Amino acid sequence: MTLAAFGTIWFLHLLAAISPGPAVVMSARTGVIEGMRTGAMLAVGIGLGGMIWALLALCGLAFVFQAAPALLIVLKICGGTYLLWMAWHLWRAADAPLDMGAQDAPPRSALSALRLGIVTQLANPKPAVLFSAIFLGTVPAGTGFWTYLAILMIVFANETIWNILVARIFSLERSRQGYISLKSIIDRGFGATLALLGVKIAAT
């Protein structure tokens, strides 16, 4: 596999990683509410979730979807439903005051943030379709184990670094103070965005 092929995979996936989606929304909200530490763990979970989708794509998930289209439909509906569930909880709690006493001690544990990142990423099956399309055009037959591992590391790095950056930006004091003053509006905005993404994932 050529260096140019690696560069193509890195660039195409980076564009997909930075595009607005459930992972970016959750990174932003976690950063502004729970801080950089929790946001970073969430980002690691998102990176691990991306690796899982990439691994499944390398194993031929596209052919499975072609052979059993109903499986992709089920995955989309389940993922969209999960995002709608999260959106409902955000919307319902939008008017609840933020506990400022918890700012220096994130209420979510590192393991919980990691798990949320993985689940949020896996709730969106579209990366599997994207990876399948990219890999079919760039990964030749007979590619070795170490090349597969390098591809998975590219996916993990793109997802994790970008979402850590998002969490960092939203964890800044100015961002946090802006959130505190507009919590109800911002939480409903996050909730509405997740709901729209959930519907889009389930319907397309």
Gap between the Cα atoms of 195 and 88, Å rounded: 8
Tokens of 135: 């890999």
Are 134 and 12 in contact, with CB atoms under 8 Å apart? Answer: yes
Gap between the Cα atoms of 145 and 143, Å rounded: 7
- Taking 50 as the pLDDT cut, the residues of the chain under it are 100-106
Tens digit of each residue's pLDDT (9 = 90 or more) over 133-184: 677 667 776 778 888 899 999 999 999 999 999 999 988 988 777 776 777 8
pLDDT value, residue 112: 93
pLDDT value, residue 124: 81
Gap between the Cα atoms of 122 and 124, Å rounded: 5
Tokens of 168: 């960092």
